[in-house]
């Protein structure tokens, strides 16, 4: 049944949130296996939400696996790309639900990357004030980050993920076979989110990534299985303690404050999310050093790994007149800002993160030093 006998049948990571707890399944041959979905809430209808890239690859397999559990399995296919993570595209999901008379037991299935997952989750949180949904992430980034933890959102022209809800799925299905069709650029973007977990929580994992990066880039199944599982374990540990980001969970945004500014400043989709995060981590590491929390050797170590993963380590110029000022303006709209003060996730010594403010002058120096 399994392509690689050295892999466990399916690893399971539990998200512990009392009555909202759910499992993350990690393994091969999961997506098309009808047994994967046997413990979901009983319902007459399922709606698969996917996009134009993923649908031809995996939608028929998922539909077939769901048919024994639902009398009706519907599908809506969204356009592909971060630029479509918006209200008009979200309405396509609501249109499909309403046109088919879907009730509040209908189960939504997010089949795709982070954009599909975020939008399906937000639709599920909103339709009839909440219907069940399942994450079936098909990109590395979605498997290790966006599908886990219940953050759902769409973008606004002025800021990324500014409109959304915390809403947990019933189940996350990480089928490693789906990564075989992943383009190299998307693989690198996922590695950005994986690398993040080392500096903030687990330096031994950072060392493992350094030793196994070539295997990951070659899509070695055993290496990917370990990287996905360890990333999910760290995220599960954080989310279990702070579901709604009132404190600890903010550390998962290491690199994201700078990264989101890059994404919205360039226009959504110009850089992939993981590319923004990779470059953002370099900037955040430099800021951590300037604040006296890590040394230059740590910054260099992290930068080298991010570059080896195929990610940008130099930020783009967002303004010809005042580049750092443009970054600062965009970062003030970030969700972590408080009363207009930007809150940065910094490395507070290797393996530990903290959230703090930093003087604009210092941040300007970092941006000026890190931009191409």
Which entry of 226, 256, 293, 335 is annotated as an active-site residue?
256
Residue 81 CA to chain centroid, in angstroms? 14
Q: How far apart are CA 310 and CA 305, in angstroms?
A: 9
Which entry of 235, 286, 293, 343 is annotated as an active-site residue?
235
Which entry of 85, 226, 230, 249 is annotated as an active-site residue?
249
- Per the DSSP assignment, residues forming a β-bridge with 315 are 371
Q: How far apart are CA 119 and CA 126, in angstroms?
A: 11
Closest C-alpha to 147, from 171, 181, 180, 176:
171
3-state secondary structure of 51: strand
- Per the DSSP assignment, residues forming a β-bridge with 213 are none
Is-catalytic flag, 245? Answer: yes
Closest C-alpha to 96, from 137, 124, 66:
124
Which entry of 260, 290, 335, 343 is annotated as an active-site residue?
260
Which entry of 193, 233, 243, 263 is annotated as an active-site residue?
193
Is-catalytic flag, 256? Answer: yes
Q: What secondary structure letter does DSSP report for 207?
A: H
Which entry of 226, 273, 290, 335 is annotated as an active-site residue?
273
Is-catalytic flag, 235? Answer: yes
CB within 8 A of 86, min separation 6: which ones? 154, 155
Q: How far apart are CA 350 and CA 63, in angstroms?
A: 45
Is-catalytic flag, 129? Answer: yes
Which entry of 151, 160, 226, 293 is annotated as an active-site residue?
151
CB within 8 A of 139, min separation 6: which ones? 112, 113, 114, 178, 179, 182, 186, 189, 190
Is-catalytic flag, 105? Answer: no
Which entry of 196, 253, 275, 301 is annotated as an active-site residue?
253
Edge-to-edge strands of the sheet including 22-27? 10-15, 22-27, 171-175, 133-137, 107-112, 45-51, 72-78
Residue 71 CA to chain centroid, in angstroms? 32
Helix extents (H) in the chain: 60-66, 87-99, 114-126, 140-141, 184-201, 203-217, 221-241, 256-266, 273-290, 296-308, 323-332, 360-370
CB distance 62 to 136 below 8 Å: yes
Residue 28 CA to chain centroid, in angstroms? 20
Q: How far apart are CA 265 and CA 273, in angstroms?
A: 13
Is-catalytic flag, 104? Answer: no
Is-catalytic flag, 226? Answer: no
Is-catalytic flag, 193? Answer: yes
Which residues are tagged catalytic? 129, 151, 193, 235, 245, 249, 253, 256, 260, 273
């Amino acid at each position: 049944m399994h392509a690689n006998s050295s892999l466990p049948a399916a690893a399971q990571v539990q998200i512990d949130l009392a009555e909202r707890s759910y499992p993350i399944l990690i393994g091969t041959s999961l997506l098309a296996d009808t047994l994967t979905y046997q413990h979901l809430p009983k319902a007459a209808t399922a709606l698969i939400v996917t996009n134009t890239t993923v649908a031809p690859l995996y939608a028929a397999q998922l539909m077939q696996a769901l048919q024994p559990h639902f009398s009706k399995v519907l599908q809506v296919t969204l356009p592909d790309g971060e630029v479509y993570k918006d209200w008009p595209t979200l309405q396509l999901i609501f249109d499909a639900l309403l046109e088919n008379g879907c009730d509040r037991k209908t189960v939504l299935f997010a089949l795709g990357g982070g954009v599909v997952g975020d939008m399906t989750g937000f639709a599920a949180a909103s339709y009839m004030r909440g219907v069940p949904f399942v994450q079936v992430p098909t990109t590395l980034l979605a498997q290790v980050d966006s599908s886990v933890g219940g953050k759902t959102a769409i973008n606004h022209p002025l800021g990324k993920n500014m409109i959304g809800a915390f809403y947990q799925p019933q189940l996350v299905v990480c089928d490693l076979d789906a990564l075989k069709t992943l383009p190299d650029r998307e693989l690198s973007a996922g590695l950005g989110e994986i690398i993040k977990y080392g500096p903030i929580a687990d330096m031994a994992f950072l060392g493992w990534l350094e030793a196994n990066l070539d295997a990951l880039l070659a899509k070695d199944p055993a290496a990917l299985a370990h990287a996905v599982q360890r990333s999910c374990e760290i995220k599960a540990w954080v989310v279990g303690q702070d579901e709604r980001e009132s404190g600890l969970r903010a550390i998962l945004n290491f690199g994201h404050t700078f990264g989101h500014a890059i994404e919205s400043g360039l226009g959504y989709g110009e850089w992939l999310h993981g590319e923004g995060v990779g470059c953002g981590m370099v900037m955040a590491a430099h800021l951590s050093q300037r604040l006296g929390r890590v040394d230059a050797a740590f910054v260099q170590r992290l930068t080298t790994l991010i570059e080896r993963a195929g990610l940008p380590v130099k930020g783009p110029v967002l303004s010809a007149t005042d580049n750092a000022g443009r970054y600062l303006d965009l970062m003030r709209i970030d969700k972590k800002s408080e009363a207009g003060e930007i809150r940065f996730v910094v490395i507070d010594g290797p393996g530990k993160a903290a959230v703090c403010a930093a003087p604009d002058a210092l941040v300007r120096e970092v941006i000026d030093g890190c931009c191409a």
